[in-house]
């Protein structure tokens, strides 16, 4: 009896989810995302296979329609955060994600990459004349780098505060750098230092359509309300 009504609910929700997915797919297609989403949406066979998954998926997730760095000073503000190769090798990716999640920020982009030298040089273009520039590019471009975009109020300034000063000698205890590193040349993490940097860096690392996901946290009001 329970099994039968569960199956009914599951298949009804499955149909709804597929409709929602098809809607979301149309948005993605409009945004120029990969055609595989369209194939996925039209495959009727997905209905049965997706039944148990669809049971839990109540809200559709839309292709991202916000400006790359969101809107400055609002809950949609975004920053670019990267765990550098030393942070990845040392197994600190989870710690970094946990800190941003626990703070109340929302992950809207995530990928692991080995950036080319050109891309690394573009990312650090303002440091081109520094004596450590070549070493910095060598270090970053060997990868892997875990690149992320986080969203939420004041995330650019708060992100920098959570990361700590560039030189770990000056990073306050409890900040990410203050807790996990001791050398300026291996300081495990990068974070955008201004709205303009966030726009440039998110465009450089997540510039293709469909790379960012716009979604609403189920507990958003518990994080965002100001009374």
Binding residues, by number, are 84, 132, 160, 166, 177, 187
87 forms part of the interface with ligand ATP (CB under 6 A): no
**Integer CA distances (angstroms), 125 to 42, 118, 186, 197, 198, in order:** 44, 10, 19, 11, 14
Determine the residue with CB nearest ligand ATP: 166
Residue 123: active-site member:
no
The reply to whether 141 sits near ligand ATP by the rule CB under 6 A is: no
Check if the beta carbon of residue 135 is closer than 8 Å to that of residue 185: yes
Question: Could you say which of 87, 190, 195, 201 contacts ligand ATP (CB under 6 A)?
Answer: 190
Query: C-beta of 86: minimal distance to ligand ATP in Å?
Result: 9
15, 75, 104, 193: which one binds ligand ATP (CB under 6 A) = 193
CB contact at 8 A, 150 and 78: yes
Which residue is listed with tokens 């966030």?
Answer: 198
| Residue from the set 26, 29, 107, 136 that interacts with ligand ATP by CB under 6 A | 136
Of 28, 123, 190, 200, the active-site residue reads 190
Contact criterion met (CB below 8 Å) for 11 and 47: yes
What residues are paired with 190 via a beta bridge?
82
Report in angstroms how near the CB of residue 135 gets to ligand ATP at its nearest: 6
Binding segment (CB under 6 A) for ligand ATP, from list 24-32, 55-63, 143-151, 180-188: 180-188
Cα gap 190→80, rounded to integer Å: 8
- Nearest alpha carbon to residue 213 among 112, 111, 113, 107: 107
24, 142, 166, 217: which one binds ligand ATP (CB under 6 A): 166
Residue 68: phi and psi, rounded to 5, are: -50, -45
CB 81 within 8 A of CB 101: no
78 binds ligand ATP (CB under 6 A): no
Nearer to ligand ATP by Cβ, of 20 and 162: the residue is 162
Task: Give the tokens for residue 171.
Answer: 């990073």
Beta carbon nearer to ligand ATP, 185 or 203: 185
Choose between 133 and 215: whose C-beta lies nearer to ligand ATP. Answer: 133
Annotated catalytic residues are 190
């Amino acid at each position: 009896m329970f099994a039968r009504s569960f199956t009914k609910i599951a298949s009804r929700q499955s149909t709804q989810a597929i409709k929602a997915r098809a809607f979301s797919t149309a948005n993605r297609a409009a945004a120029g995302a990969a055609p595989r989403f369209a194939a996925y949406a039209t495959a009727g066979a997905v209905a049965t296979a997706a039944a148990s998954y669809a049971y839990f998926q109540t809200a559709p997730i839309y292709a991202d329609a916000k400006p790359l760095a969101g809107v400055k000073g609002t809950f949609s503000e975004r920053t670019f955060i990267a765990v550098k190769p030393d942070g990845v090798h040392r197994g600190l990716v989870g710690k970094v994600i946990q800190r941003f999640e626990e703070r109340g920020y929302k992950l809207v982009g995530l990928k692991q990459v080995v950036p080319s030298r050109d891309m690394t040089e573009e990312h650090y273009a303002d440091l081109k004349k520094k004596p450590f520039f070549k070493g910095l590019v060598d270090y970053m471009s060997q990868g892997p780098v875990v690149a992320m975009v986080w969203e939420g109020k004041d995330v650019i300034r708060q992100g920098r505060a959570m990361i700590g000063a560039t030189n770990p000698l000056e990073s306050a205890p409890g900040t990410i750098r203050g807790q996990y590193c001791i050398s300026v040349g291996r300081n495990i993490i990068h974070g955008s230092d201004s709205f303009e940097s966030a726009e440039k860096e998110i465009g450089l690392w997540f510039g293709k359509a469909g790379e960012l996901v716009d979604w609403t946290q189920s507990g958003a009001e518990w994080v965002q309300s100001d009374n």
